[in-house]
Amino acid sequence: MVSALVLGAAGAVGRTCWQFLSHINIFDKLFLGDKRVEELRKLVEISRAYNVEVIPVDADDKSSLTRAIEKTDVVLNAVGPFFVYGPKILDAALEVGVDYVDVCDDFDATVKMLERHEEAVARGVKALIGMGSSPGLSNIIVKFAAQRLFEEVESVDIAHVHGGERYEGPAVIMHRAHSMMIDIPVYINGDIVYTSLESDFARQFEQEFDFPNLGKFPVYLYPHPETYTLPKYFRIAKRVTNLGVVLPPQFPALIRALVRIGLFSDEEVEVSGVRLRARDFAVAYVLKKRGELLEKYGPIEPVGSLVIVIEGRHSGRRCKLTFYTTAHGLGMGDATGIPLGLGGIMMVKGMIQSPGVHPPEAVIDPVELFKLAKEFVATKLGKGIPVNVIEECNGVRREYNIETLFSR
């Protein structure tokens, strides 16, 4: 019997992952782990999933983690924030000796987990980290372009936007604040440059970015790990950037303002005789204001887009290829949870062979992934991963689906 454990199964990403997997015949059993057991059982009842078992798991309790991991063949980790729980849950999987997949988009956690590579090799464990949208799909598209389309890659610029999801929890707010507080890696002319969001260097990248079929939105630098991992595998001459925003833009602007004045610190204050951490207040306040901002500014439905702009020499000509996805009615959970599920499928199907801790571009064949998506994602979206390409070479512009390129 082949089984998977989905951790963080009550969250937006985790629930999308197991709901997707429960509708295809890959896993005989899905263990759904979360400390919000009653909420999770209600979700299972509504979804009518038949091959799942809810188990209580506290990610802060090592014995709780290891007991759950021992039950399964692969761990699919959607517990955030990843700067707290990524290395912790990976360590538990390594200790038990079970393969691991996550959607970690925190750069600092990625670095820590990659440091476990030799231990994973020694234990024969395969760990795939950052298997979401960005990172995840973005890394795999860059790999396909660098290996199959470009003789020389000059620059890779990744941009992402999403918003309008019905649910967003405290862990997501902490991740957003954390991404505004830590150093941001930017790959420039052969070196990683570290900067802060409020630096003059970082501000030069802020821009109105045109997301196809969605609109123009202000984006800013994110400390996502692609800028760190991609240059380790492919020669990129000039630049790798990662920029994004959450909708409405007033929402991340609120978080950024609170970060600036230090309200996401661990400092304790006393309010009417009650001691609380500043960041606990900040998270609660942001969650309260989120609904008001969505109601006032929208979007009225979940939306999302990932864009990867690659420039370089293609077929002997200088070209720009823009790969993009646009989703209406689908948000962060779908864009991240479905690739997480696909990573789990690739693990149990033996499509990832090398023990160790790897980013997606190290171990995933792009064509295999898209074939897998075409076979299984139709159960969720009615089609595979819908990536379009805008090709601009020598003044000629063409647009087509990415699958057109697979036969080249």
Residue with tokens 């819908």: 386
Using DSSP bridges, classify how beta strands 52-56 and 74-77 pair: parallel, antiparallel or unpaired: unpaired
Model confidence at 47, pLDDT cuts 50, 70, 90, reads confident
Distance CA 279, CA 301 (A): 29
Q: Is the pLDDT of residue 383 over 60?
A: no
Distance CA 23, CA 189 (A): 46
Buried b (16+ CB within 10 A) or exposed e, 42-62: ebbeeeebeebebbebebeee
Q: Is the pLDDT of residue 69 over 90?
A: yes
Of residues 46 and 253, more confidence is placed in 253
Model confidence at 384, pLDDT cuts 50, 70, 90, reads low
CA atoms 276, 166, 197, 109: torsion sign: positive
Q: Is the pLDDT of residue 108 over 70?
A: yes
User: Among the residues of 191-270, which ranges form H helices?
Assistant: 200-203, 226-233, 250-260
Output the pLDDT for position 378: 65
Name the token pair of 314. 């293609």
Q: Is the pLDDT of residue 240 over 90?
A: yes
Of 9-18, 93-102, 331-340, 381-390, highest mean pLDDT: 93-102
pTM of full prediction above 0.85 = yes
String of DSSP letters for 323-377: EEEEEES--HHHHHHHHHHHHHHHHHTT-----EEE-HHHH--HHHHHHHHHHHT
Q: Is the pLDDT of residue 333 over 80?
A: no
CA dihedral in degrees (40, 333, 67, 91; nearest 10)? Answer: -160
For the chain, the first-to-last Cα distance in angstroms comes to 39
Name the token pair of 260. 């600036």
Domain ranges of the chain: 3-132+332-376, 249-297
Mean pLDDT of 116-140: 98
Q: For residue 274, how many other CB atoms are within 10 A of its CB?
A: 7
Q: Please give the CATH architecture assigned to the domain spanning 3-132+332-376.
A: 3-Layer(aba) Sandwich (3.40)
- The answer to whether residues 24 and 348 touch, using CB atoms and an 8 Å cutoff, is no
- The tens digit of pLDDT for each residue in 140-162 reads 999 999 999 999 999 999 999 99
Q: For residue 99, how many other CB atoms are within 10 A of its CB?
A: 23
Residue with tokens 């199959």: 148
Q: Is the pLDDT of residue 365 over 60?
A: yes
Proportion of the chain above pLDDT 70, given as a percent: 98
Name the token pair of 310. 């690659």
CA-closest candidate to residue 132, choices 177, 63, 203, 82: 82
Instruction: Pick the range with the lowest mean pLDDT from 88-102, 165-179, 185-199, 342-356.
Output: 165-179
CA 63 vs CA 15, 26, 93, 94, 168: distances in Å: 23, 28, 12, 14, 28
Instruction: Pick the range with the lowest mean pLDDT from 16-25, 287-296, 329-338.
Output: 329-338
Name the token pair of 4. 């998977």
- The tens digit of pLDDT for each residue in 161-178 reads 999 988 888 999 999 999
CA-closest candidate to residue 103, choices 120, 126, 70, 81: 81
CB contact set of 60 (below 8 Å; sequence gap of 6+):
none
CA dihedral in degrees (323, 79, 184, 162; nearest 10)? Answer: 40
Output the pLDDT for position 316: 84
Distance CA 221, CA 254 (A): 16
Proportion of the chain above pLDDT 90, given as a percent: 85
Instruction: Pick the range with the lowest mean pLDDT from 12-26, 226-240, 341-355.
Output: 12-26
Output the pLDDT for position 25: 85
CB contact set of 236 (below 8 Å; sequence gap of 6+):
146, 153, 154, 155, 156, 187, 230
Q: Is the pLDDT of residue 349 over 70?
A: yes
Distance CA 374, CA 406 (A): 13
Distance CA 185, CA 107 (A): 8
